[in-house]
Amino acid sequence: MVHAPPRPAPGLPPVRVNLYSDTQSLPTPAMKAAMMAAEMGDEQAGLDPTVNALCDRMAKLLGKEAAVFLPSGTMCNQIAILTHCRPGDEILAHHTAHILTSEGGGGAALTGAQITGLPGEGGQFEVAALDAALRAKTRYSMPQVLVEVEQTANIGGGTVWPLAKLRAVAEWAHAHGMSTHMDGARLMNAAVAAGIPAAEMAVGYDSVWLDFTKGLGAPLGAVLCGSAEFIDAAWRWKQRLGGSMRQAGICAAACLYSLDHHVDRLAEDHANAKRFAAGLAQVPGFRVQTPETNLVFFEPSGAGITAEALSAKARARGIAFSVMGPRGRACMHLDVDRAGVDEAVGVIREIVGN
């Protein structure tokens, strides 16, 4: 059985500090009140006023003509791939990209597209890597149709693509007749950390989306943006895949609430990430990647313990973080405060006997 993450073993204490993922934050009472007050209609028929308001706002926020509300970020990526590509097409993305590592092979299963993983530090690649991946346009080679970037790059350490690099990648793609897609699961984290508007970061990207269930703290929903023509085509895939909803305004209201109340506070998560990283960096043998946003990756093996073993021991004491191979990943979000960060660091120090 590899289909689901393991359920917590019975007898474990409740999680006090949940650094496992920013997806696990719970809607706040005020967010729930906004949901209860939402005006609703039939979303599938275009009649949900709250969904429509969210889509209008997101198109403006990301600087695109149109937007569509979808249940998840994965569906945004898959519908974007379905819309940009045909079977046999090639997508260029970093080798750690979510579309390549974490969507169940969706690009291949649904579109029939092949994703080629590019090398590069911190989940990002250089134009030189694109040059190296370029194929001659012959009947032997796959059509290369899409270049994808992740802002922030998740497995890369939550790194922020610099604006100049984003622009250079988009210009390269368009110069070679390819389209561009930005997986903006944590785009607002990038915008807040860099002090650059999200729309600026999305310039040159033909499609871009934002997830509301990461640091923004909504229970579900993501919005995919692009040209009016692109979103029209995306809507057909939404319908085909069963992503068209009904009174979805109850969820869109949470997303709107998060845009009003949970964007500026992402800076707190970034400060907490720095604090956590600084605390762990003092443990002898720990290697800690300096965080740029809300994710902290660390490798404890130099302290004589694997990330897996450390995570099990920490969990037994009410501290949760995730494990990715030799690394641990701690995620900051609105259910984790500074005291929680300090508690987590203290527990980890005690475990390694420091």
Ligand X SMILES: *Cc1c(COP(=O)(O)O)cnc(C)c1O
Residues making contact with ligand X (CB under 6 A): 23, 72-74, 77, 98, 150, 154, 183, 185, 211, 213, 222
Q: How far is the CB of 185 from ligand X (least distance, A)?
A: 3
328 three-state secondary structure? strand
CA 337/CA 340 separation, integer angstroms: 5
Q: How far is the CB of 87 from ligand X (least distance, A)?
A: 22
- Select 220 or 271, whichever has its Cβ closest to ligand X: 220
- Select 85 or 348, whichever has its Cβ closest to ligand X: 85
Q: How far is the CB of 44 from ligand X (least distance, A)?
A: 20
Element (H, E) at 107: none
- Select 62 or 185, whichever has its Cβ closest to ligand X: 185
Q: Which single residue brings its beta carbon nearest to ligand X?
A: 73
- Select 223 or 283, whichever has its Cβ closest to ligand X: 223
Q: How far is the CB of 102 from ligand X (least distance, A)?
A: 7
DSSP string, 130-169: HHHH----STTSPPEEEEEEESSBTTTTSBPPPHHHHHHH
Q: How far is the CB of 203 from ligand X (least distance, A)?
A: 20
- Select 85 or 210, whichever has its Cβ closest to ligand X: 210
- Order of strands across the sheet with 287-288? 17-19, 319-324, 327-331, 295-299, 287-288
Q: Give the CA diameter of the chain.
A: 61
DSSP state of 336: -
Instruction: Count other Cβ atoms within 10 Å, centred on residue 61.
Output: 21
